[in-house]
């Protein structure tokens, strides 16, 4: 706050030819440009709230408007700056709005405007485009795609070699089956149901009217099923290149099946994929993924990405009815202690923490990579997921939880 | 009608030191007759706002603690079925007609008033505290919104009950679940942060007027320093007060000269094992010397 300046509420009295409500409407518009949700009623209310306030005291007005216009922490922390820019500036307000809105959106627009993405992940994404799945997998350098040609082989083929549409369909079916098994868990809330153990007194009384108030038929309540939330964190670093394509497809199918699911990809940083993966049109889906892929490169910092997840998303996303699946080979360039710490925090917030490691299927692999060993004590289920069979085994494992 | 300074004074009288922004929000709550949503870390005194407000205004505090599975029969109203069944049996031999019997068993005597209904039926506007609203599920939010937007409750067998007075409604949330936009828009909003050094000192002195001035300063600066550490559970205001009480009870006047017992007394403040490990005896001593 710059103490020298006076709040330009003098305009509220009509100074500069701008009546009170007009200026307030413009302020509301400015806030909306900054992602505030403001109804038309709120503006009128704010104006009436201000009527009892000493308008020359800019703190007072600031406090009033902040209470009325903010509705969450993000609004709360942004408000002060917007307020001061708007009311303490002596420019014509419309230029303020235009300028700020433009700079605000250009920030967002930056990403899509960048030129073609490069690197392994981009190749991987190309293989996701519909119709050219075969070429994509071959282009990604597996060199063994002939193994995935017969339907019989599908069950044991490494996921990395699955590419043609038929086989892809199988992975999808598996994902759907899996999600159906774990989609619902019993909730605390009761509702009417014939098999319940609890009496529904309200309904019993209501229905007893026909028998003169004697409750002959008893009605019961049972526990309701509630959607179970699944959060998938997928490692898309270089060492996972062979597998990430298929886990992306798997995630896509799971997101489509679950009522509540979130997907993230990580590398050296964390990116929320849910909004992209929920895209049902495969072409748009590939386009949007490509946009997200920009700037991705190098190794894996699992610990840092999990820390990011814990700090930014865990609070609002994870509930006691959430399962977190991490898909990674555990090759981490960060500190193992850091990873262990973040895994512990993640475990505290979720019902079940699962680590799928595609390397388990490979001969001679032991989970000794520094990060992997540090993470293991916090994991409820450590399982292999490199082919359809291991995913199918997991299906039962998950259903049993 | 309340104004900001009045609110600050009222709350200060019962030992709650409100920052001007919060006091303004409470004044607005009164003026605009809208509920106030308080968010912030656990332990910053969100719940205490409602408790202190009720105390300072001399109003009744009606508290609804939210939890998963909370439904309207626990939050709004429920018929007393057992009594109704008894009443039907008793009325069996009376020669009242069915309609009279029905209106008897669905009268107010048989209605169990839960907090939300109770709050709108008071003669003097009470303070209604809806605590940890994020713990209740989305369905409950819908009921809540209905009550908070119209201040009336409709009971099918009975009719619509309109609010006698509009209560002061304070909702608190810890952010375990994202609240709906509709509920957020209905409410005034205030993010309650940890108090700054000066405010926390005032809070401490309000609770323990006889506390040694130097000790009070040390306690507050120590806690403020702890909040900058990367802890799983940051100490709240209650922890500050507990710790100060413990130190007063132990006749401590300077925290830096306590040696080992400094770390032991921190059990009032650091309440998870990882936090205790993070702030070891030497580290605690170091902070103590720094803030002394």
Q: Is residue B180 exposed (0-12), middle (13-18) or buried (19+ Cβ within 10 Å)?
A: middle
CA distance B49 to B27: 13
pLDDT value, residue A152: 32
Mean pLDDT, chain B, rounded, equals: 89
Whole-Å CA distances, B99 to A62, B96, B156: 58, 8, 16
pLDDT value, residue A150: 30
Residues of A in contact with B36 (CB under 8 A): 67
The reply to whether ipTM tops 0.85 is no
A11-61: per-residue pLDDT in tens?
444 344 456 677 888 888 889 888 888 877 788 888 777 777 766 677 888
A319, B177: Cβ pair inside 8 Å?
Answer: yes
CA distance A214 to A232: 53
Mean pLDDT to the nearest integer, B6-24: 91
A67, B21: Cβ pair inside 8 Å?
Answer: yes
**pLDDT band for position A147 (cuts 50, 70, 90):** very low
Instruction: Please work out, in degrees rounded to the nearest 5, the angle formed at the alpha carbon of residue B61 by the alpha carbons of B57 and B66.
Output: 140
Share of chain B above pLDDT 70, in %: 99
B-facing residues of A in 152-171 (CB < 8 A) are none
Instruction: Specify which of A239-253, A272-286, B79-93 reaches the highest per-range mean pLDDT.
Output: B79-93
A67, B85: Cβ pair inside 8 Å?
Answer: no
pLDDT of B48 above 80: yes
Residues of A in contact with B181 (CB under 8 A): 37, 71
pLDDT value, residue B25: 94
| Residue that wins the pLDDT comparison between A154 and A318 | A318
A63, B139: Cβ pair inside 8 Å?
Answer: no
Which of B24, B81, B177 is nearest residue A67 as measured by Cβ atoms?
Answer: B24
CA distance A117 to A98: 31
CA distance B258 to B252: 8
8 Å CB contact between B141 and B179? yes
Q: Is residue B273 exposed (0-12), middle (13-18) or buried (19+ Cβ within 10 Å)?
A: exposed
pLDDT value, residue B59: 94
Residues of A in contact with B278 (CB under 8 A): none
pLDDT of A345 above 80: yes
Min distance B32 CA to chain A CA atoms (Å): 7
**pLDDT band for position A399 (cuts 50, 70, 90):** low
Share of chain A above pLDDT 90, in %: 0
Q: What does DSSP assign to residue A259?
A: S
Q: At what angle do helices A73-87 and A58-69 cross, to 10 degrees?
A: 140
Chain B interface includes A188 (CB < 8 A): yes
| Residue that wins the pLDDT comparison between A102 and A345 | A345
Which segment of A260-269, A383-392, B51-60, B217-226 scores lowest on mean pLDDT?
A383-392
What sign does the dihedral A27-A31-A32-A38 (CA atoms) show? negative
Min distance A42 CA to chain B CA atoms (Å): 9
Min distance B201 CA to chain A CA atoms (Å): 23
pLDDT value, residue B176: 67
pLDDT of A121 above 60: no
pLDDT value, residue B191: 92
What is the DSSP annotation of A143-209? --GGGG-SHHHHTTSBGGG--SHHHHHHHHHHHHHHHHHHSEEEEEEEEE-TT-SEE-HHHHHHHGG
A-B CB pairs within 8 A amount to 90
What sign does the dihedral B83-B85-B90-B92 (CA atoms) show? positive
B175-185: per-residue pLDDT in tens?
767 788 888 88
3-state secondary structure of B101: helix
B246-270: per-residue pLDDT in tens?
999 988 888 888 878 888 889 889 9
Which of A67, A72, A345 is nearest residue B25 as measured by Cβ atoms?
Answer: A67
pTM > 0.95: yes or no:
no
A205, B24: Cβ pair inside 8 Å?
Answer: no
| Residue that wins the pLDDT comparison between B32 and A18 | B32
Q: Where are chain B's structural domains?
A: 4-76+114-191, 78-110, 197-285
Which segment of A11-25, A33-47, A141-155, A171-185 scores lowest on mean pLDDT?
A141-155
Distance between alpha carbon B95 and the CA centroid of its chain, in Å?
A: 51
CA distance A184 to A150: 35
8 Å CB contact between A161 and A361? no
| Residue that wins the pLDDT comparison between A307 and A149 | A307
Q: Which residue has the tokens 């699944």?
A: A230
Which of B20, B28, B232 is nearest residue A68 as measured by Cβ atoms?
Answer: B28
Min distance A26 CA to chain B CA atoms (Å): 19
Mean pLDDT to the nearest integer, B274-289: 89
Q: What does DSSP assign to residue B68?
A: T
Instruction: Show Cβ contacts of residue B38 under 8 Å, excluding neighbours closer than 6 positions.
Output: B46, B49, B170, B171, B172, B173, B190, B191, B192
Q: Which residue has the tokens 């909702």?
A: B171
pLDDT of A396 above 80: no
Min distance B176 CA to chain A CA atoms (Å): 6
Instruction: Show Cβ contacts of residue A80 under 8 Å, excluding neighbours closer than 6 positions.
Output: A1, A62, A66
Which segment of A48-52, A332-336, B107-111, B146-150 scores lowest on mean pLDDT?
A48-52
Mutate to test the interface with A, among B44, B80, B85, B106 (most CBs of A within 10 A): B85
What does the block give as tokens for A69? Answer: 């216009």
B24, A60: Cβ pair inside 8 Å?
Answer: yes
Which segment of A376-380, B94-98, B103-107, B198-202 scores lowest on mean pLDDT?
B94-98
> Residue A162 CB: number of other CB atoms within 10 A?
24
CATH fold of B4-76+114-191: Rossmann fold (3.40.50)
Mutate to test the interface with A, among B7, B32, B98, B234 (most CBs of A within 10 A): B32
Chain B interface includes A73 (CB < 8 A): yes
Q: Which of A335, A314, A388 is nearest to A358 (CA)?
A: A388
CA distance B30 to A104: 36
Residue B131 pairs in a beta bridge with B65
CA closest to B25 among chain A residues = A67
Chain B interface includes A312 (CB < 8 A): no
**pLDDT band for position A136 (cuts 50, 70, 90):** very low
3-state secondary structure of B189: strand
**pLDDT band for position A114 (cuts 50, 70, 90):** very low
Q: What does DSSP assign to residue A393?
A: H
Share of chain B above pLDDT 90, in %: 46
């Amino acid at each position: 706050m710059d103490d020298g300046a006076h709040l330009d509420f003098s305009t509220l009295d009509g100074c500069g030819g701008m009546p009170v409500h007009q200026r307030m409407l413009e302020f509301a518009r400015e806030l909306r440009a900054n992602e505030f949700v403001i109804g038309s009623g709120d503006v009128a209310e704010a104006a009436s709230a201000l009527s009892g306030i000493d308008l020359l005291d800019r703190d007072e007005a600031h406090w009033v408007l902040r209470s009325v216009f903010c509705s969450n922490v993000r609004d709360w922390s942004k408000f002060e700056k917007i307020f001061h820019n708007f009311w303490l500036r002596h420019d014509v307000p419309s230029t303020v709005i235009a300028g700020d809105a433009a700079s605000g959106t250009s920030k967002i627009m930056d990403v899509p405007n960048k030129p073609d993405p490069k690197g392994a992940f981009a190749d991987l994404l190309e293989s996701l485009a519909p119709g050219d799945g075969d070429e994509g997998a071959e282009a990604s350098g597996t060199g063994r795609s002939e193994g995935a040609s017969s339907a019989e082989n599908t069950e044991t083929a490494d996921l990395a070699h699955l590419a043609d549409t038929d086989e892809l369909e199988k992975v999808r079916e598996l994902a759907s089956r899996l999600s159906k098994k774990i989609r619902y868990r019993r909730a605390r809330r009761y509702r009417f149901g014939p098999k319940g153990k609890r009496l529904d007194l309200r309904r019993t009384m209501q229905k007893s009217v026909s028998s003169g108030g004697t409750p002959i038929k008893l009605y019961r309540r049972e526990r309701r099923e509630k959607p179970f939330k699944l959060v998938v964190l997928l490692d898309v670093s270089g060492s996972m290149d062979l597998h990430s394509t298929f886990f992306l497809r798997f995630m896509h199918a799971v997101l489509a099946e679950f009522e509540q699911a979130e997907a993230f990809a990580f590398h050296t940083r964390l990116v929320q994929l849910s909004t992209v993966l929920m895209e049902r049109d495969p072409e748009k889906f590939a386009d949007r993924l490509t946009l997200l892929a920009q700037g991705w490169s190098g190794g894996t910092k699992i610990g840092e990405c999990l820390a990011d997840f814990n700090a930014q998303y865990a609070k609002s996303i994870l509930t006691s009815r959430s399962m977190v699946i991490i898909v990674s080979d555990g090759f981490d360039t960060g500190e193992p202690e850091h990873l262990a710490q973040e895994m512990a925090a993640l475990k505290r917030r979720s019902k079940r923490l699962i680590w799928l490691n595609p390397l388990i299927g490979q001969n001679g692999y032991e989970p000794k990579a520094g990060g992997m060993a540090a993470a293991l004590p916090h994991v409820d289920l450590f399982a292999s997921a490199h082919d359809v069979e291991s995913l199918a085994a997991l299906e039962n494992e998950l259903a049993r939880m | 009608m309340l104004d900001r300074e009045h609110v600050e004074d009222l709350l200060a009288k019962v030992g709650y030191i409100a920052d001007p922004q919060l006091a303004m929000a409470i004044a607005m709550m009164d003026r605009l007759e809208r509920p106030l949503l308080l968010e912030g870390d656990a332990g910053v005194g969100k719940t205490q706002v409602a408790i202190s407000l009720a105390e300072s205004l001399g109003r009744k505090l009606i508290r609804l603690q939210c939890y998963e599975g909370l439904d309207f029969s626990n939050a709004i109203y429920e018929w007393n079925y057992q009594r109704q069944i008894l009443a039907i049996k008793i009325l069996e031999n009376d020669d009242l007609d069915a309609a009279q019997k029905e209106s008897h068993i669905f009268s107010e005597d048989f209605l169990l008033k839960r907090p939300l209904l109770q709050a709108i039926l008071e003669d003097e506007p009470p303070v209604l505290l809806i605590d940890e609203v994020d713990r209740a599920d989305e369905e409950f939010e819908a009921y809540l919104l209905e009550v908070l937007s119209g201040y009336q409750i409709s009971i099918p067998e009975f009719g619509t009950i309109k609010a006698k007075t509009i209560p002061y409604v304070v909702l608190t949330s810890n952010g375990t679940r994202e609240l709906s936009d509709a509920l957020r828009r209905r409410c005034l909003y205030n993010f309650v942060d940890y108090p700054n050094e000066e405010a926390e000192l005032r809070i401490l002195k309000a609770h323990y007027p006889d506390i040694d001035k130097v000790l009070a300063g040390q306690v507050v600066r120590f806690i403020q320093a702890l909040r900058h550490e990367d802890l799983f559970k940051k100490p709240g205001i209650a922890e500050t007060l507990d710790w100060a009480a413990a130190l007063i009870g132990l006749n401590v006047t300077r925290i830096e000269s306590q040696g080992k017992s400094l770390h032991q007394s921190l059990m009032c403040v650091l309440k998870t094992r990882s936090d205790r490990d993070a702030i070891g005896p030497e580290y605690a001593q170091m902070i103590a010397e720094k803030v002394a």
